[in-house]
């Protein structure tokens, strides 16, 4: 049987040309890097940190493990990320090189050179300083995909303010919670955003967030004019971005910060409680952002790089705002959506801008496959995609069928696909092919990034043999790792360095299996109560809390179900305070609850399927049997013994979706 499996799995080797020219040239080069790190772990990272970053004050310490698991890297070094992304390139003769090609929702294109970007960032950084924003202050950014979004992040980095981006699709409540938790002094937002031909308001949501209470730390609100919508501005608090930047100097002395200074917080979902503020460092984070660009994307001076993520997610941080700019790359920033004006938009943009490295999510690919199947005019084969040389995937497992389609139809069968496994907490790539070295197997993220030491273990932390699934861990601290959870170091320890593993192994929260023969890793999905819907992370608890906050809801349990398009879909089991509804009434309440969750968290958190019961399946000790709910959500027959259930009859009620 294993022979049969082997012949069925096609292996894609990099072309000779790719091997010859790549930064990591062939498997020997990859293995040599791994060996370098194996032999002298700190030396490996230190060498790269010296070569790839311009330090104001060189570091003499590398890894400091004295307060594990609160690790420090390059702690006595000083630098500035914005200097490394902008000034360094301008000083090296790249001032007139295009840094950002911004394509608006309506197709309008704006090009910003490195020199121009530096001036824009400096002006806004001066404006922030003028408002009294200083090193260590937190600034929340609630902006759509825009040049100003990148400028705002870089400006914070320039003055040592710690930014925290809140995705533009999040609700007022979610924004309020993040502002409150971070204790932010300033909020940067816009009047609205353009998406799919529509102008959507943003400032009113920001106003609502600020009115909810708990945002008293905010002194300044800066508003980018994007849609030109009528916008209420509160005197003494709100100012237009263009007004505060006017008359500012084009130069701004960067704030030199310690390598461990928090560059940003980014809130992400965990299995329990509220979203946690993942805190990243300056030096270690920048290092691995650059290394991922160099090694995984093999970035070269002539490349045109396009990461389609939103700056609201970690992928947008590392692969829009920081990594590409730190490498002096020309990159695309796209305001719109892949389906407007039609589902050929990505392919047209690759053709128009001669994109060479393209990085997107499996969900996007799957929806574009469907669109191309239905309408040959938007099929990638209709476009000239010959500029492409490397394709990337991120955010969720890519199923082999989508991989093959992407490889064949977008990459013309000649572009390696780097299936990059990583997380908000890891800062940059952890397990990924090297495009000029690693033979590819669809559906596998292959082997660890050079220097990163991953393993699959059992519940006791013991490594399991290849071919046997288990828990994915990282054995040694690495430079771009999460430093702590903002304001909650205990939760950091518990979540990532649990006692089960004696506090020695980083727990990613994913399951994985390594191939018997190749040792390749395949990610099997989250092992906790975190859902991954269209590559967006959400905690089941967050959605449950939103549901029970509704006046009609007594109790709710949320689980995930596999979905062809979105990877996972959200299914909610709900007990109402009144009688169990049916028919039209039930349908109306489903709509109401979906909208409610959309309003509480954001549209991405809306349950796809809501089922009502008079109760939830519970053990006699009152614990909700989530395993059963997962089976019900999938429509599977319950075969196991349910005699420990308090109320077995409830399963019939919950088994059927309404529509």
Binding site for ligand WTA (CB under 6 A): 268, 313-315, 394-397, 419-424, 445, 508-510, 523, 526, 532, 537
Q: Distance (Å, rounded) from C-alpha 533 to C-alpha 560?
A: 9
Query: Is 537 flagged in the annotation as binding?
Result: yes
The minimum distance between CB 530 and ligand WTA, in angstroms, equals: 7
The minimum distance between CB 163 and ligand WTA, in angstroms, equals: 17
Full DSSP string of 161-193: PEEEE--TTS-HHHHHHHHHHHT-SEEEEESEE
Query: Is 451 flagged in the annotation as binding?
Result: no
The minimum distance between CB 458 and ligand WTA, in angstroms, equals: 19
Instruction: Please state, as a whole number, how many other Cβ atoms lie within 10 Å of the Cβ of residue 223.
Output: 23
Nearer to ligand WTA, 257 or 394 (CB): 394
Nearer to ligand WTA, 177 or 419 (CB): 419
The minimum distance between CB 601 and ligand WTA, in angstroms, equals: 15
N-terminal to C-terminal alpha carbon distance within the chain: 41
C-alpha torsion sign, points 544, 546, 547, 552: positive
Q: In degrees rounded to 5, what are phi and psi of residue 491?
A: -65, -35
Which residue's C-beta sits nearest to ligand WTA? Answer: 424
Q: Which two tokens stand for residue 487?
A: 């304001």
The minimum distance between CB 654 and ligand WTA, in angstroms, equals: 27
Query: Is 421 flagged in the annotation as binding?
Result: yes
Query: Is 195 flagged in the annotation as binding?
Result: yes
| Residue with tokens 């791994």, as numbered in its chain | 34
Q: Distance (Å, rounded) from C-alpha 264 to C-alpha 82?
A: 13
Measured CA to CA in angstroms, residue 150 lies from 17, 302, 430, 571 at distances of: 34, 21, 24, 35
Nearer to ligand WTA, 508 or 590 (CB): 508
Q: Which two tokens stand for residue 194?
A: 């353009």
Q: In degrees rounded to 5, what are phi and psi of residue 293?
A: -65, -45
Nearer to ligand WTA, 276 or 526 (CB): 526
Question: Which stretches does DSSP call E strand in 406-552?
Answer: 417-420, 454-457, 470-474, 484-485, 506-514, 521-526, 530-533, 536-539
The minimum distance between CB 84 and ligand WTA, in angstroms, equals: 22
The minimum distance between CB 161 and ligand WTA, in angstroms, equals: 23
Alpha helices in 327-375 (DSSP H): 345-353, 362-374
Nearer to ligand WTA, 164 or 423 (CB): 423
Nearer to ligand WTA, 351 or 360 (CB): 360
The minimum distance between CB 300 and ligand WTA, in angstroms, equals: 23
Nearer to ligand WTA, 394 or 575 (CB): 394
Nearer to ligand WTA, 209 or 394 (CB): 394
**DSSP H or E stretch at residue 653:** helix 650-655
Nearer to ligand WTA, 420 or 495 (CB): 420
Query: Is 419 flagged in the annotation as binding?
Result: yes
Who contacts 605 (Cβ-Cβ below 8 Å, separation ≥6)? 538, 542, 543, 546, 570, 597, 598
The minimum distance between CB 509 and ligand WTA, in angstroms, equals: 5
The minimum distance between CB 220 and ligand WTA, in angstroms, equals: 29
Query: Is 397 flagged in the annotation as binding?
Result: yes
Compute the residue count for the chain. Answer: 659
Query: Is 550 flagged in the annotation as binding?
Result: yes
Q: Tell me if the bond preceding 341 is cis, omega within 30° of 0.
A: yes
Query: Is 387 flagged in the annotation as binding?
Result: no
The minimum distance between CB 430 and ligand WTA, in angstroms, equals: 9
Q: Distance (Å, rounded) from C-alpha 31 to C-alpha 33?
A: 5
Nearer to ligand WTA, 255 or 396 (CB): 396
Q: Is 5 buried (19+), middle (13-18) or exposed (0-12) by CB count in 10 A?
A: exposed
The minimum distance between CB 452 and ligand WTA, in angstroms, equals: 14
Who contacts 488 (Cβ-Cβ below 8 Å, separation ≥6)? 276
Query: Is 423 flagged in the annotation as binding?
Result: yes
**DSSP H or E stretch at residue 99:** strand 98-103
Nearer to ligand WTA, 30 or 421 (CB): 421
Beta bridge partners of 563: 567
Query: Is 198 flagged in the annotation as binding?
Result: yes
* b/e burial code for range 338-358 (CB count within 10 A of at least 16 → b): bbbeebbbbbbbbbbbebbbb
For residues 579 and 546, the answer to whether their CB atoms sit within 8 Å is no
Q: Distance (Å, rounded) from C-alpha 203 to C-alpha 408?
A: 43
Beta bridge partners of 418: 392
Query: Is 315 flagged in the annotation as binding?
Result: yes
Nearer to ligand WTA, 254 or 539 (CB): 539
The binding site consists of: 195-198, 315, 395-397, 419-424, 510, 526, 534, 537, 548, 550, 553
The binding site for Mg(2+) consists of: 548, 550, 553
The binding site for ATP consists of: 395-397, 419-424, 510, 526, 537
The binding site for CoA consists of: 195-198, 315, 534
């Amino acid at each position: 049987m294993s022979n049969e499996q082997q012949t069925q799995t096609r292996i894609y080797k990099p072309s000779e040309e790719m091997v010859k020219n790549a930064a990591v040239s062939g498997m020997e080069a990859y293995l040599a890097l791994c060996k370098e790190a194996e032999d002298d772990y700190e030396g490996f990272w230190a060498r790269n940190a010296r070569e790839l970053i311009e330090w104001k004050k060189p570091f003499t310490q590398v890894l400091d493990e004295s307060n594990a698991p609160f690790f420090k890297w390059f702690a006595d070094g000083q630098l500035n990320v914005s200097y490394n992304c902008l000034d360094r390139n301008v000083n090296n003769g790249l001032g007139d090189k295009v840094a950002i090609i911004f394509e608006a929702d309506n197709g309008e294109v704006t090009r910003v050179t490195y020199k121009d970007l530096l001036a824009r960032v400096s002006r806004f950084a001066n404006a922030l300083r003028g408002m009294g924003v200083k090193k260590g202050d937190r600034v929340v950014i609630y902006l759509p995909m825009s040049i100003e979004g990148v400028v705002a992040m870089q400006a914070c980095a320039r003055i040592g303010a710690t930014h925290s981006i809140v995705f533009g699709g999040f609700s007022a409540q979610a924004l309020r919670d993040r502002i409150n938790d971070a204790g932010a002094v300033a909020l940067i937002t816009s009047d609205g955003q353009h998406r799919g031909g529509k102008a959507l308001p943003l400032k009113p949501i920001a106003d609502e967030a600020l009115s909810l209470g708990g945002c008293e730390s905010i002194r300044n609100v800066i508003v980018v004019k994007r849609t030109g919508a009528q916008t209420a501005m509160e005197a003494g608090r709100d100012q237009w971005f263009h007004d505060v930047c006017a008359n500012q100097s084009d130069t701004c002395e960067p704030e030199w910060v310690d390598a461990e200074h928090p560059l940003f917080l980014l809130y992400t979902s965990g299995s329990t409680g509220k979203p946690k503020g993942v805190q990243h460092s300056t030096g270690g984070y920048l290092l691995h952002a650059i290394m991922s660009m160099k090694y995984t994307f093999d970035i070269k001076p002539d490349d045109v790089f396009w990461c389609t993520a939103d700056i609201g997610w970690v992928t947008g941080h590392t692969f829009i705002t920081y990594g590409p700019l730190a490498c002096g790359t020309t990159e695309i920033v796209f305001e719109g959506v892949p389906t407007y004006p039609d589902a050929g938009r990505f392919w047209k943009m690759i053709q128009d801008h001669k994109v060479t490295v393209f990085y997107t999510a499996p969900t996007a690919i799957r929806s574009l496959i469907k669109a191309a199947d239905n309408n040959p005019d938007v099929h990638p084969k209709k476009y000239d995609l010959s500029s492409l040389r490397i394709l990337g995937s991120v955010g969720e497992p890519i199923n082999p069928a989508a991989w093959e389609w992407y490889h064949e139809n977008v990459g013309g069968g000649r572009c390696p696909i780097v299936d990059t496994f990583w997380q908000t907490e890891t800062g940059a790539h952890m397990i990924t092919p090297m495009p000029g070295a690693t033979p590819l197997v669809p559906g596998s993220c292959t082997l660890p990034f050079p220097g990163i030491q991953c393993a699959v273990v059992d519940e006791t932390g013991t490594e399991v043999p290849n071919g046997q699934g288990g828990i994915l861990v990282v054995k040694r601290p690495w430079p771009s790792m999460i430093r702590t959870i903002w304001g909650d170091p205990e939760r950091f320890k518990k979540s990532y360095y649990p006692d089960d593993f004696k506090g020695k192994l980083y727990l990613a929260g994913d399951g994985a299996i390594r191939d018997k023969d190749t040792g390749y890793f395949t990610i099997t999905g989250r092992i906790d109560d975190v859902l991954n819907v269209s590559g967006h992370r959400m905690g089941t608890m967050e959605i449950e809390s939103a549901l029970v906050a509704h006046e009609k809801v007594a109790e709710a349990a949320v689980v995930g179900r596999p979905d062809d398009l979105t990877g996972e879909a959200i299914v909610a089991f709900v007990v109402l305070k009144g009688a169990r509804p049916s028919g039209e009434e039930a349908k109306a309440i489903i709509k109401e609850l979906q909208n409610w969750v959309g309003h509480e968290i954001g549209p991405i958190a809306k349950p796809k399927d809501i089922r009502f019961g008079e109760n939830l399946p519970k053990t006699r000790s009152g614990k909700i049997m989530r395993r059963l709910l997962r089976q019900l959500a999938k429509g599977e027959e319950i075969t196991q013994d349910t005699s420990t259930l308090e109320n077995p009859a409830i399963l019939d009620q919950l088994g059927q979706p309404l529509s």
